[in-house]
Structure 1
Amino acid sequence: MAVLIYSRNHPVEDWAAALRKEAPDLDIRLHPQTGNPAEIDVALVWKPPPGLLQSFPNLKLIQSFGAGVDGILADPNIPKHVPLARVVDGRLTQGMSEYVLLHVLRFHRQVDTMANNQRNRTWRWLPLVDASERVVGIMGMGTLGGHVARKLVDFGFQVASWSRGLKAVDGVTSFHGDDHLEGFLRICNILVCLLPLTPQTRGIISRRTLSLLPRGAYVINAGRGGHVVEADLLHALDSEWLSGATLDVFNEEPLRPDHPFWTHPKVTVTPHNAADSIPAHVAPQIVDNIRRLQQGLPILRLVDYARGY
């Protein structure tokens, strides 16, 4: 069985080595050394160029490197008759929880203010706010959002969630659907976006939604850059409606050198490294799906093309 590997960001040689270790019998090919396109059975891809997947006439499975598939679905010519599967990685999930907790606590414990005071040699006592008085709102309650929510509950924060469908998690106040988005936003002192990027969620963090947050709220986006209307976020920061923002994802990556996010005093920029899949840990589940394909068994972690996740 021939497996084609393509990624715009990942070290494809590392992925090839991990797959070969798990399944030495697989015919692993690295783009652009594809060979005969008709021989490709499986495409392991991340942000493939438009038309690449369509060029394999006998493709039987499209497998994503990670949990997100918006970079694959962005191809208007994607062969939708071919199953598309994603990855669910426990280490990636843990990494995302670490990232969100880090930046929630940075805001909660006023770390940036204290660092600025140190630079200015200013000794100023800062009042503490009990975690139980902060509401952290999570947009997106899939594998990542659910794990993050439980960690925040353990830290004593009030936690609220919003998703398209109702997702019940112990200790979390759940909102769902468009009708409940406003009520959710109005209580969030810290807003965390972990949504999948779909036509319905693109631009969801906008001037309108940001205006519904309490004054002084903080925004953390580790979902996708397309969730944020960047000009609207800058306006909310400059008008002092928001206290700050941590951004790991952007509409254009890498972030161009002259982008105002780089130098904005209220913005923390991280280079899309909140969490990532490690080849050695993810290869077994990818190989498992390939074996399932060979044996005619159901493919796991399938993506619904209509929903986009």
Structure 2
Amino acid sequence: MKKLIQVLIAGMVISLLAACGSDDASSEEGSSEEGSETYQVGATQIVEHPSLDQAYKGFQDALEDEGLDVEYDFQSAQNDQNNVQPISNNFVADGVDLIFANSTPSALGALQATEDIPILFTSVTDAAGAGLVESMDEPGENITGVLDLHPDAINQTVEFIAENFPEATVGTVYNAGEQNSVAQIDAAKKAMEGTDLSLEERTVANASEVKDAATTLVEDVDVFYIITDNTVVSALDSVVGVANEQDIPLMVGEPDSLKGGGFATYGIDYHTIGYRTGEMAAQILTGEKTPKDIPVEYPPELQLFINEQAAEEQGVEWNDSWDEEAELVEAE
């Protein structure tokens, strides 16, 4: 009888242990599934301005549409290169699942910080020239993304200037410390070869110098052309003020700058390139692909955008063909 009781007790103990083990396994499984649905993303950009902000919004929208639960740590470098590297270093120390680098300086900082954490970039003009990837088709082991410059954007913008403002001297202001900007200026010079246009340049180191630089161009230029330079775009209102006061048409590098008072651009939608980058990120976060599996992409086809109010304020004679060719943008 005693032996039978011992056997029964032992059986009960084993059953209880098995039940506990099953509960623990079930609990761990639920925790694993819950954890796999929440991702930590470090998001960084060189400065806050409408174009970069729209790209970040597009990135977030894509991940939301993909059904992913993402927690973001957003950090702006406030247009200070000294802040770029520490931001990415902190993301690495925090063990984020992915870094969204929104601008060339931000992407370079992220790449210098890690070889292991996936990096998705956008708002980058020349990824290979900046040293972010070896080529469009073969990005690095942990980095890929979407460019913000269509291959024909600068050529078509220069053609537009040549057709509508013949023999113009074109004035530009940019930060020579931005690889993104140097590549665009070189492309603009090349596009002007064989035309009757000439380029007059001024360089700045920070946003506070933009207005003075634009003012020094007034006597020498017929048209302003501001590329997608983060420093200058963050202070675009300074250039707009000069352009409006002096009746100088202001060509810009992207549609968001039209909302700030630019006249015209052949550009792309920054929300769109951010969204596409977010779709790539979803594939990487869920393990479907790795960065090296996804080629770097150009933005979609170009569109002529015009701000009719800015045209009037800058003394531009309206061309009726623009009514059909252009998408009109209103200033904010």
Smaller-chain TM-score bracket: 0.3 to 0.5
Which fold has the larger relative contact order, with Cα–Cα distance below 8 Å and residues 6 or more apart in sequence?
A: 2
TM-score by length of 1: 0.42
In our comparison, the structure showing a higher alpha carbon Rg is 2
